[in-house]
Amino acid sequence: MRSLEIRLGGSGGQGLILAGIILAEAAILDGKVSVQSQSYGPEARGGSSKAEVIISDGPIVYPKVLKPDVLLALTSSAYKSYKEDVKETGLIIVDDSVEVEKESKVKTLKFPILRTAQEVVGKAYVANIVSLGVIAELTKIVSEESLEKAVLKRVPAGTEELNRKALEEGFKLGKVEDKWVEQMI
């Protein structure tokens, strides 16, 4: 039974919990089993925020992520807090504003996620959706079609085009040729 654990870390207000929900729902649309959980501080904006998703072919007993296969860190503090947990065979995806350790045991890839949201798509708040595009493209953990459906189901009415564009840009960013990533998948 294949089971993948994903942790999304950043600061409150970046929409990572919503991203976690969307990812889990996309997996369900793909016919898989998934659970999503979260932890957050008391702040509605700022503070730390963590969303976790497990995607599996069969029943999921323990609902929290212990050793992520994939970590997304949009802030330095999320990177620092969670990098040690990631499996050695796993993958860390960070925003390019995050300074990463040179000698990391775990494969780490940088993408201009926040910048793409702000400058290419035009709204900083779609960074969560750009991130999902990157993750999906790199890991094939969910299908592009299901992810798009799941995104459109959850985002506020009137922002569909914006989010579709964010997802597209994420897919584009994630198209990197990397042997290591291919192996991991």
Partner 1 sequence: MQGNEAVVEGAIRAGMRFYAGYPITPSTEIAELCAEKLPFVGGKFIQMEDEIASMAAIIGASLAGLKAMTATSGPGFSLMQENIGFAAMAEVPCVVVDVQRMGPSTGMPTSPAQGDVMQSRWGTHGDHSIIVLSPSSVKEAYYVTIQAFNLSEKYRTPVVILMDEVIGHLRETVNLDEYGDIEIIERKIPEDIENYLPYKDIENGVAPLIPFGKGVRYHVTGLVHNEKGLPTNDTKIAERLIKRLVDKIEKNKEDIVMYKEKGEKEGDILFISFGSTSRAVEAAEEELKKEGFKVGIFRPITIWPFPDTRLRKIYPKFRKIFVVEMNRGQLYYEVDRVVKREGEVENINKANGEFFTPCEIVEKVKERIKNGF
Question: Interface residues with partner 1 (CB under 8 A)?
Answer: 21, 24, 28, 33-42, 60-64, 66
As measured in angstroms, the least distance from the Cβ of 12 to partner 1 is 11
37 versus 143: smaller Cβ distance to partner 1: 37
Cross-strand pairs, 165: none
Q: For residue 117, with 0-12 CB atoms within 10 Å meaning exposed, 13-18 middle and 19 or more buried, which class applies?
A: buried
As measured in angstroms, the least distance from the Cβ of 38 to partner 1 is 6
Distance from C-alpha of 126 to C-alpha of 147, rounded to nearest angstrom: 15
48 versus 118: smaller Cβ distance to partner 1: 48
36 versus 146: smaller Cβ distance to partner 1: 36
Residue 19 CB contacts under 8 Å (≥ 6 apart), including other chains: 8, 51, 128, 129, 131, 132
50 versus 83: smaller Cβ distance to partner 1: 50
User: What are the φ/ψ torsions at residue 60 (nearest 5 degrees)?
Assistant: -110, 115
As measured in angstroms, the least distance from the Cβ of 36 to partner 1 is 4
Distance from C-alpha of 54 to C-alpha of 171, rounded to nearest angstrom: 21
At residue 111's C-alpha, the angle toward residues 110 and 117, to 5°, is 150
As measured in angstroms, the least distance from the Cβ of 168 to partner 1 is 26
